[in-house]
Amino acid sequence: MLKERYYIKIVPHRGETVHRFALARNHIIIAASSLAIIIFGSLLFASVQVARAHAQVAQFRTQATAEQSRISKIDHTATALQAQLSHLQRENSEIQKLIGVKVTPPRGLTHTSRSVPHARSLSDVEARLNVLSRQSAQTAALSKKIHSAALIALNMRREEAARRASALAAIPSIDPVEGAPVIGCFCYRSYPDVEFHEGVDIAADYGTPVRASAAGTIVAASYDGGYGLKIDIDHGNGYHTWYAHLEVALVSVGQHVYKGEVIGHAGATGFATGPHLHYQIMLNGVAIDPTPYLNGVPANVLAAL
């Protein structure tokens, strides 16, 4: 049966010679089988290519998801850094206000929240990190300048405070006989002599400790006529304090004494009707009333410092 023949006739339109082709049955089977194999092979190849393409798409999607996750993490870290830089910049501003010194920021320094956009892609991430890197370096440079300025300002204030403390220490401001009342005023009096009394008399028994009312240098510690045994302290600022009628002097000329330091004991030497301390303040060679200086530096003197 395989050798049975089939004929295909081709008749032209105008009826010219008829063309006839003879095909054996086995030839038809072979041709049909070959066509089926070609079609199946094409479908299989197409299926494989489609599957490969789908796998690649899935891989790319996975990579894109992972990449986006990394971008999100980097962006989150950048946001945290941005917040830290903003906080540091605010602190720098506050420090400048506190120290009262304006520090010129590095050129190009801007506020982070206005200049660093959120990242959407790798190029955005790179751009954002570059901006943050530049700003962090500039902010660090500004912080260093502010730190130096703060140290200078702090040292200046410490020096100023030390000078003020030294100035205050050299101004008479305590009662030389602690807790004792004043029994003789800075005024005219008629007893024991008619005269202007250029100091105050402070109650004190024999041997009562007498304190320096301010820091200074001993310029005299000897007998001085009616003052008896007298100590004169030069405070280096126009002030001198005198402590008279002493029983004992515990200091010597040239010695530096501190405010509150015991310099002698009260007595009744010189022209005195009984034991007490004559306390006198001289300012630029002129006697002034010691009373305002017995319990602190007078307000007008403080205001002048």
In this structure, the answer to whether residues 30 and 68 fall within a common structural domain is: yes
**What pLDDT score does 161 carry?**
80
Average pLDDT on 279-291 reads: 95
Q: Is the pLDDT assigned to residue 18 strictly greater than 70?
A: no
Please indicate, yes or no, whether residues 13 and 74 belong to a single structural domain of this protein: yes
- What integer pLDDT is reported at residue 268 of this predicted model? 95
Contact 151, 171 (CB under 8 A): no
Q: What is the mean pLDDT of the chain?
A: 81
pLDDT at 39 over 70: yes
Asked if 252 contacts 232 with a C-beta cutoff of 8 angstroms, the reply is no
User: What is the CA angle 123-127-133, rounded to 5?
Assistant: 140
> What number is the average pLDDT over the span 219-228?
95
Averaged pLDDT for residues 275-299: 94
Phi, psi of 297 (to 5 degrees): -75, 130
Whether residue 275 sits in one domain with residue 203: yes
- Which domain range does residue 50 map to? 5-78
Same domain (yes/no): 280, 197 = yes
Q: How many angstroms separate the CA atoms of 11 and 19, rounded?
A: 6
Residue 194, domain CATH: 2.70.70.10
Same domain, 35 and 93: no
Residue 102 in any domain: the answer is yes
So what's the pLDDT on residue 93? Answer: 76
Give domain status of residue 70, yes or no.
yes
Per-residue confidence (pLDDT) for residue 198, from 0 to 100? 92
Is residue 240 located within the same domain as residue 149? no
Q: What is the mean pLDDT of residues 50-72?
A: 69
The H or E element containing residue 241 is strand 239-249
For range 171-183, the mean pLDDT? 93
In single-letter form, the type of residue at position 90 comes to: R
Do 12 and 125 lie in a common domain?
no
In a domain, 294, yes or no: yes
Q: How is residue 19 written in tokens?
A: 């063309």
Residue 6: the pLDDT is 63
Q: 298 and 187 in one domain?
A: yes
Tell me the mean pLDDT in the region 199-218: 96
CA dihedral for 222, 224, 226, 231, sign (positive or negative)? negative
**pLDDT confidence of residue 171:** 95
Are 186 and 298 part of one and the same domain? yes
Among 78, 98, 125, the domain boundary falls at: 78
Same domain for 107 and 135? yes
Q: What is the pLDDT of residue 113?
A: 47
How many domains in the chain? 3
Give yes or no for a contact between 211 and 261, defined as CB atoms under 8 angstroms apart.
yes
**Of 21, 56, 78, which marks where a domain is finished?**
78
Q: What is the pTM of this model?
A: 0.56
Query: Which is higher by pLDDT, 286 or 121?
Result: 286
In a domain, 137, yes or no: yes
Is residue 140 domain-shared with residue 37, that is, in the same domain?
no
Residue 175 domain-assigned (yes or no): no
Establish if 176 belongs to a structural domain. Answer: no
**Could you tell me the pLDDT band of residue 228, with boundaries at 50, 70 and 90?**
very high
What is the band of 101 on the pLDDT scale with cuts at 50, 70, 90?
low
**Domain match, 161 and 50 both:** no
Instruction: Of 24-28, 102-106, 196-200, 209-213, give the range with the top mean pLDDT.
Output: 209-213
Mean pLDDT of 127-138: 75
177 within a domain of the structure (yes/no): no
Mean pLDDT of the region 216-234: 96
